Amino acid sequence: MACLACPLEDCSGIPGFYKLLSALTDPNRERYEEISDWIGDDFDPQAFSVEGINQKLAPKRRRSSAIRN
């Protein structure tokens, strides 16, 4: 199973995110341009890094461990 970036804010959760991804695959779709403008050029739905997420969560884990001890 491929990992994807998390759903964007204001895209109606996971179902809306998949509709958004589907709309972005076809430039002839009705809302393609509107959605493309909203998302911008730097969004990559395939961009997901377990290592990157772990690095972002590490400070929270350390804080949480300190509180428990």
Give domain status of residue 32, yes or no. yes
Q: What is the pTM of this model?
A: 0.59
Identify whether 53 is part of a domain: yes
Is the residue at 4 inside a domain?
Answer: no
1 part of a folded domain: no
> Which range of residues forms the domain containing residue 45?
13-68
Distances 68 to 61, 63, 64 between C-alpha atoms, Å: 11, 9, 6
Looking at the domain assignment, is residue 20 inside a domain?
A: yes
Query: Does any domain span residue 42?
Result: yes
Residue 6 lies in a domain: no
For 1-27, write each residue's pLDDT tens digit: 567 887 888 888 889 888 888 888 889
Domain count within the chain:
1
The number of C-alpha atoms within 13 Å of 11 and in the hemisphere containing its C-beta is: 20
Residue 60, domain member (yes or no): yes
